[in-house]
Structure formats: structure tokens, C-alpha cells
Structure 1
């Protein structure tokens, strides 16, 4: 079946009554799951596997895919309103989304997030449809040296995530690396920094740290500053209307991050979380007013929301064409495909073209459904801020604890959540930025594994990086990122 014929067959599936109904069910479930702090799409998809057994594989995957990108779409809500990331891919959304909510612009922030998500998701689907077979070969070209160089380039951006003091940002990044090393060494099997505690052998979950550093730290500040809290900030949701200047400010980041986010999503192991961070950092470096980031910048909100949704579409390239999952969610989707009797890989285009193109075509409809569902609901969703502050604090703590416990069903993780809540509170108290901590924790394990695999391949020689053109390009960019700021002349103040 040719590409054009495949696309037509995909739209026939997507626009059938079954396709429309199950896309709607998937995105609706995903949106509400994404809104709840810590409850990601993994558990929802896992629950749906036995339910969908006996379904047509195409319809089953259409529904599960809807849960996946619906959760990424809806995960921004709790990040913006409560500073409690719904899923890991929306952590960067909180950097500027929550300050906007505090400033009384919650409605505008949610509208920007919804529109940016729609743009990123739609562009991602278009690129997926046009370039999926070709991009599969690009993804194969990425080996351990290329991944190390890419992660190293991302790490050079820690300085961009600093909130004033570069030294404090670097210290925060080092702390993130330290916690990333906790657990069993994947190559030697040696326990590291577990202190004899069996609960730490599997390492520390990302959401435990994210919810602790952001949500619980925010709760601590709300409790302490409750008497000083300005009631107007709490009650002013703000208008949903976006001006022409707002759209103009969104245009550049949305265009750039649709492409960048999709490319990062194509790389196995990268995913929406890394795409959102890189998108945020990229836009901050391009901005003429980088100091506005972290204080309610429209560009700072548009960039990660566009990138993470575009990356979600890109993640289906390695999943469907190579059978390689790029994240925990796509790993569960891979398991679902195998249970349904479908083997992902290069032959999927020929053996199951209707499934491949049907899933892609359904994403068009899914993104439209998500926009239609979310925009009218924004005034009602934003009223979360009108909940009395003591009740709101209790709800945030409850949702965080449920979300963390649902990951591993281990009460030890609840103590870790409390620990990182205390750490996050003291970091805010002494003005240590949390984003470098989160970024280095995410990349720490990946960069270590990639470097060790690279050295194993080359028998300990670093010369392998000089033999890989893609790796050389990334390393040169990383060096320029470090060196150029030192040669920039400070602008002369009038």
C-alpha cells in the first residue's frame, strides 16, 4: 500500500463511528488523568489493556494513544494552577504558567497552554504523517555517542535555568546528579548510595522529586504566607481572551518548538519531558528579554507546551516503525500491541498499514477534540483557585500522596516525597533554583549510561566522538554554549 493510499485508509478508520467514539473516550480520560498530580497515563493504559482485549487492534491502539497525548495536553492544568505537575512532561510548564496564575492571569495561562498544545500536537501529527518512514532511519543512526553528546548539550543549559546566581544553579544541578546515582548500577549491579535500604535499590522516581520540589514546597509557602496572602490574587482568575500581541508573541516559539519537539520525540529514550526542558531553554536563549522567563513569560509557557505535545507525536515513530519505546508510556503501548497480536517494526507498514495510518489520522481528530474540550472548560477549571486556601492545600497534599503511592505502592516513597518537599522549601528560602536540580536528575542516569556504553564500544577511547559527525556537531554546540557568554560584552546602561 502506497503512502497516499495508506493515509486515505487511515482517515477511513479515524472517521468511522468506532474511531470517533474511542478517540473521544481516550482523550477525555487522558485529559482528566493528566490534570491529577502524579497520576500519569501509564497506569490508565495498563488498566485498558485487559479491557481492550478482543477489540480490533487499530481501535484499541487509537483509544490508548488518545489517553497518552490527552494526558500530556491536560497535564498543564495542575502545573499552572497548583504548581503541581500532572505528569513529568509538564514540569517546565510550571516555570512560567504558575507565576501567571499568581498574577491573576490563570485564564490566559490555561488558554495559552491549550492553544500551544493544539499547535504542537497538530504539527507533530503532520510531520509524523509526512516523514515517519524516513525518520525511522534517522533514529537508528543515534547510538550511545550521539546520545551522550545530545545530553551534554542539554546540560550546558543549566546556567540558563539559574535565577540570578550561577553558582547556586550549579550547586542545584550537582545535587540533582547525586540523587540520580542512587540505586543499583545498571552495568555492575553494585548498589550505590542506598545505605543498606532495600527501598532505594530501584532508585528514586522522578515524580517523587518533581512533586516534592514544586507542589509540597509551594504548599509550605502557602501555609507560612497565608496571613500575608493577597486575596485579590486568589480570586482574580483573569480573562481568557488573548490579544493580537499575545498571539504574535506565541507565534515564534510555537513554530520552532513544533519542529524541535517532534525531532526530540523521534529519538528513542528522549520523550516529552526532555523536549519540554530543551524547548524552554532554547527559547530563553533566543529571547531578547531572558530575565522575563520564570516570571510569567508567554514565550516561557508556549515553548514547553508546544514541544511536549509535538514530542508525543514524534514518539510514535520509533514505537511503530522500530518497535523501540521512548518512554515508560510508550513501553506500555508496546506491550499492548504485542498482547493484541501486532509486532511493531519495519514490516508494520506492509503487514498492518491500516493500524499505522489509522492511529496517525486519529490524532488529527484527537487534537481537535482536546481543544474543543479544554477551551470551554477553562473558566470552570480555573475556579480551582477560588477553593478556600486550607481546603486547597489539603487537596494538593492528598493528590500528591495518591499520585506517588500509585507509582510503586510503596509507603517509603511517601517519606521521600516529604523529604523533597522540605528540600524544595529550603531551596526556595535561600533562593536555590529547582529547575537545574530537575534537569540534571532527568539527564544524570541517561548521560552516565550513554558515556559508559560509548567507552565500552571504543575500549575506553574518547576518540570515538571524533568519528561520529552527529556527536561532533552536538559537542561543538555545547562548547560554544559554554564559551560564548564569556565573550559577550555587557550592554552599556544609559
Structure 2
């Protein structure tokens, strides 16, 4: 085995492979930082260029783009409150307030440290526990998925701000809009137009909810709320800040690893779950949403913790963990590699090369993040009056480019107006987004579970895993109620 590892190391450690991975990381960071230009788009556009490359360099290029774009989404989320990717939406909650406090550099550095840590832990997990986690993922069926989504929805309480009632209203609105389109049995809901039968895509809803309201604020409140350009300000993450964030950072990495290994969950749900858990257990829980650096550590470690672990079901079972690994499955097949149990039997050397290359890419991610940070921080110094049309054009172009659909652009603008109205009525946007992302998975797995049991609801608590998630959800609700009662009596 040692000889095989040394051979794989020598094959990967070439100038050509490092240049390929560096290009992928840099390209991913830049694309991820542009609102609407998702990691899925980056990997999909790069796929044709890998046809004439060797198998492992081509896979490493796609993986590097995936990792770079996942981190890159946090850059615009922190600097201009416009998450470049869906998984960075949670980072906006504390990253942008920190930037407004003159601590943009601190927020960007913590995002980078957390991203690299989560990514490295994810890669180590992929190498050492791929098979056990893959077997666990096989045992998770619709009832387990449903209870997991119920538990994940308890994070709504943590991001509801001052009013839990308004947070619940926001979450209910998110669940309502998540039902737009065709259900699993072919029925259409809210199909007022033909395009609405396909539902509402996450990207236009996300960008519209967070970016467009900021632009409307600049226009409507330009006299009362005019703001100077952000300064990079406080750059350094102190030892004390890093030390108190370590628990959330490592916990978020593990949450990302576990949720990434379960097909269909994805980094967005992992980020919000990690954020909610960090807020529940932090001594500074009251500061979350106002510029708490621990919140950035929790969300960024979790979404990057998914990068390596989404490869676990792909490599071990041949099942893509998310959309991007679905594209990678095509790349594997194109190069004559068939993911699944036989991959470790027939192409073990290629597997070792992939693992080693992914570890190298974590180091390259840190270097690329540090190098591009100075460049991206100039974004914060652009005057708001000039920034608004630039961001609007990027949003419109990015959303249209995803599917060449004007319908998505209309959804973007409509959600922008809706998000602005939520701001006027002090309704928090984060619970809406959590419910919108988790809603389809919640409904689909509930209906599948009931179909399997022919309507018997006891299937929802029919296994130890379902009981575990149900108990966690009840515990979190009880703690939330207790905290609200204390706040009311104070």
C-alpha cells in the first residue's frame, strides 16, 4: 500500500497538475464571487475542456473549481451582502454586519480559515471513512430524511432575530413558495403561467431576496441612509477570536461532512444547520446576526466541509451527492472510470491520486484566498451609487445565463420587491430562505414515507435514526421556548 501511495504522490506532484489545480481554484473563487455565477455553472462549462485531458487531472480541475467557487461565494456575501453562491447565504448574516463595522478583512480572513479547515477535514474524512459513511447513507430512507429536515428547520428559531413570531411567519412564507410547481405525483400548484409549472429556482430567489433589496434601499433611502464606501479596516483574526470559534469551526466541519455524505442535502442546508447549532451553544448567541465572527466560522466550515464528503457516495456507491458531483459522474464515465465499489478494485491507483490531489487543493485554496483577498477588497471601496448598477447588471446577467430564461429574471426582480417589503415590515429573510431550501425535501420525503407505509404515520418514528432526529428537534424547540419565556419575563 505504501508503494502505491508513493507512486500516486509522484504522479500527482507535477508542475502540470499543480497549474491545473491552481487555475481551477482561482477560476472557482472568481466565479463564486460573482452573484449568480454558481459552482455548478463553472464545473459544467469546464467539462468539455476535460475531454482530451488525462483522467485524474481532469477530475482534479473540476474538484478545484467546486472548492474555489464554494469559498468564493463568501466574498461578495461579506462585502456587498450578495451571496455569490446559495451556500454562502448564511455567511451574509454576520459577514456583512462585520464589514459595515469596518472589519471586512477580519470577516474575509475567518471565512478563508474556516473554508480551508472544513475542506481539509472533509478530504481526510473522504479518505478514511468513505465506506462507513456510505453504508450509513444507504440506511437513510424517506422517514430518516424527513426527520432530518424537521430537525434542520429548527434552525429557523436561531435566525429569527428579535421576534420568533415574525421568524415563523417568514418560514411559513418560504414553505408556501417552495410548493410552487409540479409535485412528485404530477399535480401542478400555483401554475398561473406555464413557466411556473417548473417551480421557483433557488438561485433567483436567493439573489433576489438578499441583493435586490439592498439596491432598493440605496434608491429609496439615498438621503437618509447614504453610506460611505466600506474600508478594509481590521484585518487580523485575533487568537482569542480564533480560540472561541474553534468549537463551532470543527463542529461545522463535521456537520458538513455528514450532511454532504447524504445525497441530496447539499452545502446550503449544512451551513444553516451548523449556524443554528453554533448559535444555540455559543456564549455570544445574542450577537449572532449582528457581526459575530463565530457565525462565519460555523457556516463557512460547514459548506466547505461538504466539498469532499459529497464525493463519498459518488466514489463508493456511484451515487452523486449533489448537482456538481452529478456533472463529475459524467466526467468519470467519459474517461472510462466507473464510480462504485469496483472502482477501488480496478482503479485503486487513480483513487489514491485523486485523494492526494484533493489534499493539495486545500493548500492551494488557502494561497488563492490570500492572494485574491487584496483584489476583492477593492470592491468594498466602490461608492454605493456606482456599485448599485454594477451589482444589478451582474445579478441579471448571472441569473439569465444559468438557464437562458427570462422567467428566472422576473422571479429575481419579484423576489427583490418581496424582500424589500419584508425589510419594511421587519420580517427576517433568513428563515424564509431556510424553509424554501428545505421545503421540497421535507414534502417529498414525507409523501414517499407515507406512500411506503400506505398512510401509516408511525413510519416516521420507525427507526433509531428517526428517533434521534426527532429527539434533537424536540430538544431544540424546548430550549427555544425556554429562552423566549426568559426573555419575556426579563
Aligned to 1:226: 222
Alignment of 1:370-409 (within 5 A): 370-409=365-404
Bigger mean CA deviation after superposition, 382-391 or 201-210: 382-391
Aligned to 2:203: 207
Shift of 1:61: 0.5
Aligned to 1:32: 30
| Equivalent-residue separation in structure 2 for 1:93 and 1:13 (angstroms) | 37
What SS is found at the alignment partner of 1:341?
coil
Aligned to 1:46: 44
For 1:349, which of 344, 351, 359 is the aligned residue? 344
Aligned to 2:183: 185
The answer to whether the 8 A contact 2:99-2:230 is kept is no
Aligned to 1:490: 486
| Equivalent-residue separation in structure 2 for 1:88 and 1:42 (angstroms) | 11
Aligned to 1:248: 243
Shift of 1:340: 2.3
The answer to whether the 8 A contact 1:65-1:359 is kept is no
For 1:364, which of 359, 365, 368 is the aligned residue? 359
| Equivalent-residue separation in structure 2 for 1:491 and 1:182 (angstroms) | 37
Shift of 1:148: 0.4
What SS is found at the alignment partner of 1:394?
helix
For 2:234, which of 226, 230, 239 is the aligned residue? 239
Bigger mean CA deviation after superposition, 350-359 or 92-101: 350-359
Shift of 1:18: 3.0
Superposition RMSD in Å: 1.8
Alignment of 1:268-417 (within 5 A): 268-417=263-412
| TM-score, length-scaled by structure 1 | 0.95
The answer to whether the 8 A contact 1:323-1:345 is kept is yes
Shift of 1:228: 3.5
Shift of 1:289: 2.6
| Equivalent-residue separation in structure 1 for 2:456 and 2:6 (angstroms) | 50
The answer to whether the 8 A contact 2:118-2:305 is kept is yes
| Equivalent-residue separation in structure 2 for 1:13 and 1:66 (angstroms) | 18
The answer to whether the 8 A contact 2:102-2:234 is kept is no
Decide whether aligned partners of structure 1 residues 466 and 390 sit closer, same or farther in structure 2, where only a CA change above 3 A counts. Answer: closer
| Equivalent-residue separation in structure 2 for 1:347 and 1:285 (angstroms) | 43
Aligned to 2:81: 83
Decide whether aligned partners of structure 1 residues 67 and 212 sit closer, same or farther in structure 2, where only a CA change above 3 A counts. Answer: same
| Equivalent-residue separation in structure 2 for 1:357 and 1:71 (angstroms) | 24
| Equivalent-residue separation in structure 2 for 1:385 and 1:466 (angstroms) | 50
Question: What runs of 5+ residues in structure 1 fail to find an aligned partner?
Answer: none
What SS is found at the alignment partner of 2:53?
coil
- Runs of 4 or more, structure 1, over 6 Å off, are 491-494
Output one character per residue of 1:397-450: Cα deviation in whole Å (capped at 9) or x when no partner.
011111111121111211111110001011011110001100000111001111
The answer to whether the 8 A contact 1:261-1:272 is kept is yes
